[in-house]
Chains A and B, each alone.
Chain A
């Protein structure tokens, strides 16, 4: 793993240099969601008896930020390197596909976690929050970030243009995060949509993550963790196979 530290450093430096756009902006977005939804729906919506709607909302927003930013990091980095052509510098070097995968995914996780921590740090000024099971919080944040980092890598490998990444973001990532119960509990949905939500892996990430805060969830946290872990293994395998084949990266 000789190239891994540098590749990771490069990926971190890249998003850190434009931190205003990659960290500050998504934190602000999440804060706006909190203000608008919490005030508009406070009192009208109560998901769990012991938890106010604003409290319910915060972990969902944090996790949503982790997921979306992890995806944005690897996908935008790779597509930029492909389009500007500087991917060649990595392709010329003796970097194994495992190192490439690990560095991109880990950097994406870190970007997701930094933004997620930022959202949490800002929202605790407005909403009182406790964390009953921090290990669950950490486990779901790490796995969720890793899955979306890997998904971003796959999107970056597949796409030839920026707008294809944007389409992936708008038509896949955004609907899956919005329909995963960030803003509501799926138990408030009609039966059909409850079942449909259970097919969405993002639902388990949000639900399990929220369990870490309140000790309550729609699905037992261990079952969610199993779904999330299996998703991670499948997705990583797919990604590693793509990288090994050189698909769309080496002619």
Chain B
């Protein structure tokens, strides 16, 4: 199987700041890969290096086997990137923007494909509107369309659903999933962990420029056995020596990890003995958010 993206010991320093501290990963062709991490973890930096927008201080990156520095023209043809920032050129209409982007790749008779992309992203009604006149969600769709004009086998989306309404998000994911089914490799970053859990085959978690977890979504969920107990209490502190691992806690809202249903009785008794009143209670199977929080706390 071909490797779509391969990063080897990638480092990036901005002055004294080490934005990436030796990142290695490889994404197989056809994979749906998630890159997760808190703000400032280095996700955008890594994507910028893959895309050639930034140069690594050390290490190597290849896209479909093409080195992003020495063979940059081939690497860039293989790659479509949806940038995190909502950028656009205010001089042009949607269609002009897409035609120009095609032309940058040397594609001058690309209208059939452009029309198809416009159709699938539901941009038809605004195709001849100036970019300035578009809403944020519409601009985001144009960004996605721009990344696709040259039919790249590898597509990287940097927080494509940030600030996008639910309906558009659903439509966008449907479209991306279809691209993936058609054989495109997808790499995405997102803050919506339920999206990542649903979509991604494999996930890398990044923290402070390092990979702290890298596994299939199924395995990551599997490392986290037990149940999650969500509570709202009448107080801001939990009793000492509680028989459960605290996953998160903020202003009276807590998430606790239980080994099994039997653990519930013990925790409830401890809370009662401490005089705490329970305002709300929920018991859930583990999800990616729990895994994420645990991984982030451990490192």
Chain A residues within 8 Å of B, Cβ to Cβ: 2-3, 5-7, 9-10, 13-14, 17-18, 81, 84-86, 88-96, 246, 250-251
Contacts and interface: CB of A to CB of B under 8 A. Distances in A.
A4 to B, nearest CB: 9
11 contacts: A3-B103, A3-B104, A7-B103, A10-B103, A13-B91, A85-B87, A89-B87, A91-B53, A92-B52, A93-B101, A94-B74
Interface stretch (B77-85, B159-167, B225-233): B77-85
B106 A92 contact: no
A106 B96 CA distance: 21
A212 B184 CA distance: 60
B224 interface: no
Nearest to A1: B106
Contacts of B52: 91-92, 250
Interface in B87-101: 87-92, 96, 100-101
Interface residues of B, number: 32
Residue among A2, A7, A18, A92 having the largest count of chain B Cβ atoms under 10 Å: A92
A91 B54 CA distance: 10
B103 A6 contact: yes
Contact of B53 (A13, A88, A96): A88
A183 B100 CA distance: 42
Contacts of B141: none
Contact of A13 (B55, B96, B101): B96
Interface of B: 14, 48, 51-55, 72-74, 76-77, 79, 81, 83, 85, 87-92, 96, 100-106, 108, 146
B53 A6 contact: no
Nearest to A14: B91
Contacts of A95: 104
Given A89-B146, A94-B72, A250-B55, A84 B103 contact: no
Contacts of B74: 94
A5 B88 CA distance: 21
Contacts of B100: 6, 9-10, 89
Contacts of B55: 246, 250-251
Contacts of A14: 91
Given A6-B104, A246-B55, 9 more contacts: A3-B105, A6-B108, A10-B92, A85-B83, A91-B51, A92-B51, A93-B105, A94-B73, A251-B55
Nearest to A85: B87
Nearest to A86: B89
A86 B104 CA distance: 14
A90 B76 CA distance: 11
Contact of B54 (A7, A18, A250): A250
Contacts of A84: 87-90
A92 B147 CA distance: 9
Contact of A5 (B14, B90, B91, B103): B103
Contact of A92 (B53, B88, B89, B108): B53
A7 B89 CA distance: 13
Contact of A9 (B48, B91, B103, B106): B103
A13 B51 CA distance: 27
B89 A89 contact: yes
Nearest to B53: A91
Given A3-B103, A3-B104, A93-B104, A17 B53 contact: no
B76 A86 contact: no
Given A94-B76, A251-B48, A251-B54, A7 B104 contact: yes
A86 B97 CA distance: 11
Contacts of B101: 89, 93
A164 B14 CA distance: 24
Contacts of B51: 91-92
A14 B102 CA distance: 17
Residue among B14, B55, B106 having the largest count of chain A Cβ atoms under 10 Å: B106
Contacts of B105: 2-3, 93-94
A94 B14 CA distance: 25
B77 A94 contact: yes
A214 B77 CA distance: 53
Nearest to A17: B91
